[in-house]
Amino acid sequence: MEQLLILKEDKGINSPIELFKNIKKINIDYNQENFILICLNTKNKIIHKEVLFKGGLNSCLIDFKTLFRSALLNNSNSIIVAHNHPSSSLTPSQEDIKIYDYLKKGCEILNLKILDSIIFNKKEFYSLNDN
């Protein structure tokens, strides 16, 4: 079930559009929801990314302990999370916003930064941080 992709970047991620281009390189099934964790070092370079959770047509169960364990084991300074909506809608649900708020609180406790939460489809993305 776990799909793992390690990517070494020469430069850091500086914008949501750069991030989206990077996310599109991950091979996922767009007919189900996929939740991706992206770990970055102190220079915002991607040091690890993985499809951490897979769901169904309109939801995905997120286990915060698993997410934070992966971030800490990869020596992350900051994280970005991303997930697709199989409906192709980019509008965040109340649950999406609630999860992002929980992640911000957890990151604060663990002294991690959460830089963004991206909702995407095959062609476009929505940044919760920018909106």
Nearest to 19 by CA among 43, 46, 42: 46
What are the pLDDT tens digits along the chain (131 aa)? 344 444 444 567 888 888 898 898 899 999 999 999 999 999 999 999 999 999 999 899 999 999 999 999 999 999 999 999 999 999 999 999 999 999 999 999 999 999 999 999 999 999 998 88
Phi, psi dihedrals of residue 59, rounded to the nearest 5°:
-160, 165
In order of start, what are the domains of the chain with their CATH numbers?
3-122 (3.40.140.10)
Residue 116 β-bridge partners: 80
